[in-house]
Amino acid sequence: MEQNQDILIGRRAEKKQLEAIMASEEAEFVVVYGRRRVGKTFLVNSFFNDNYAFKLTGLAKKSKREQLANFKASLNRYHEGKKYKKPRTWYEAFDQLRDLLEKLKVKGKRVVFIDEFPWMDSRGSNLVSALEHFWNDWASTQNDMVLIVCGSATSWITNKILKNRGGLHNRVTQKLYIHPFTLAECKEYLQSRKILMEDKEIAECYMIMGGIPFYLKNLRRGASLSQNVDEMFFMDKGRLDDEFDALYDSLFDKSEAYIKIVEALSAKNNGLTREELLTATKQKSNGQFSTILRNLIDCDFIRCYRGYGNKSKMSIYQLVDPFTLFYFKFIKKNGKTDKAFWQHQIGTHTHDTWAGLAFEQLCLNHHRQIEQALGIAGIMTNVYSWVTPPNAEEKAQIDLVIKRADKVVNVCEMKYYDGEYAMKKKDRDDMERRVRLFRSSNKVRMSIHPVLVTTYGLVSNIYSSVFQNVVTLEDLLE
């Protein structure tokens, strides 16, 4: 099978997984999922180059009757001669699909791709039960069968398919969660579209949009980043008008509860405990609240971590999705009041404050690249944040702590700067103070290596030796 993979940016691990699936000698039930606009369908279509035994895309917000009519139309497109009647139930629909596949003569695998599968489900439709019967009764016995189910509604996919307690329990043989692009993949993608940006601009682009291919695709070639941001988010009828609501609605059932949580977290840079979140959102502490938190973690919107040395074992939840952070900081507050809003922000104190915090999040999202730059990619590590206890006389915090199995702790300072960063005496003294408090507060007996993560590097002067290592944007873009 010829594959049109040269247009794919990144996704190397996913392509290897799909290659292994195609080489398998058993039936494969594959779930591809991830947030809206992340490139799930593009990945599958590019890999298979439309060589399907059957392909169907569910219809958004349509009735069971309309979904079944769409199913019938797809069946007839893939069958030469026989015309299928519109099925009355999903059981009948999948029985017709079985009939089609049994008659089909193809070399290699019979690949069935059902995209936006959650859209096809409606109350009382029995869609999942019919899929269960199709797979368990027949498809799972066909060694040349590859069934791919895809969708953006992550909570639906997780609850109805991946964590199914009925006939689909443990039936999924492979799952592919499609993550946003890394910073390096963003650069590769922009270059493929002939969009010229310096590394610092690419970083700021990531700090606004995250690594979401569709957002990057909306960048207009020849315009500056600030012009593009205005045209996409702040101009009336912009290219990504109302994207925030559409994003959360597409991913989660009852998205209002999810939005309350991310909004509460957007106001606290260091995050909140579960109890603090319950208080801030006025939601009940129950299994549903736990599910919401888990779904937000699974979709890369928030992270859950324990502070270094936190003996209470309380988890802290922190918002790490760049687009959501940018939305609450600027888009929601300013709306469409100024078509050149972002261009007017450049160089202001508001912009610079936001950029410093957003760069810290970028570094947290790329801690593996930092480890690679430090030469410790092969060493087992744990990543933390740290803040002095509430009753401490001296206050300090370190946003990124890397605890290494070789008995070294890296404490990282992140600085978003226009040129090489020049340390001053007060900067050195503050770094030494935080290392001292970190060591004494946690009774650390290991070596502590301060690391500077910055845009262009560090000016060598009498204060710069406080850092053992320097990691730059160039390293993060590797």
pLDDT in tens, 302-322: 999 888 877 656 789 999 999
How many whole angstroms separate alpha carbon 54 and alpha carbon 119?
A: 18
- pLDDT-above-70 percentage for the chain: 97
Confidence of residue 127 (pLDDT cuts 50, 70, 90): very high
The mean pLDDT of the chain is: 92
Tell me which amino acid residue 449 is: H
User: Cβ(410)–Cβ(374) under 8 Å?
Assistant: yes
> C-alpha distances in angstroms, 117 versus 170, 237, 247, 304, 411?
19, 30, 17, 29, 45
- Any idea which residue has 């933390």 for tokens? 384
Residue 270 pLDDT: 86
Tell me which amino acid residue 313 is: K
pLDDT in tens, 390-405: 888 999 999 999 999 9
Q: Count CB atoms within 10 A of the CB of residue 424.
A: 10
Residue 312 pLDDT: 57
User: Cβ(223)–Cβ(343) under 8 Å?
Assistant: no
Q: Count CB atoms within 10 A of the CB of residue 331.
A: 22
Once rounded to an integer, what is the mean pLDDT over residues 62-74?
95
Question: What does DSSP assign to residue 328?
Answer: I
Alpha carbons within 13 A on the beta-carbon side of 368: 6
Alpha carbons within 13 A on the beta-carbon side of 354: 21
Once rounded to an integer, what is the mean pLDDT over residues 324-347?
88
Helix (H) or strand (E) holding 56: strand 54-57
Least confident range from 9-23, 35-49, 332-346: namely 332-346
Tell me which amino acid residue 84 is: Y
This prediction has a pTM of: 0.90
Choose among 104, 12, 110: nearest CA to 52.
110
User: Cβ(54)–Cβ(61) under 8 Å?
Assistant: no
Question: What domains can you pick out in the chain, each with its CATH number?
Answer: 12-177 (3.40.50.300), 183-365 (1.10.10), 366-476 (3.40.1350)
User: Cβ(40)–Cβ(212) under 8 Å?
Assistant: no
pLDDT in tens, 8-32: 888 999 999 999 999 999 999 999 9
Least confident range from 89-93, 330-334, 447-451: namely 330-334
Confidence of residue 2 (pLDDT cuts 50, 70, 90): very low
Choose among 91, 92, 101, 90: nearest CA to 139.
101
How many whole angstroms separate alpha carbon 68 and alpha carbon 83?
A: 15
Q: In the chain, count of helices (H) and strands (E)?
A: 21, 13
- First-last CA distance in the chain: 32
List of E strands, 102-212: 110-115, 145-151, 174-177
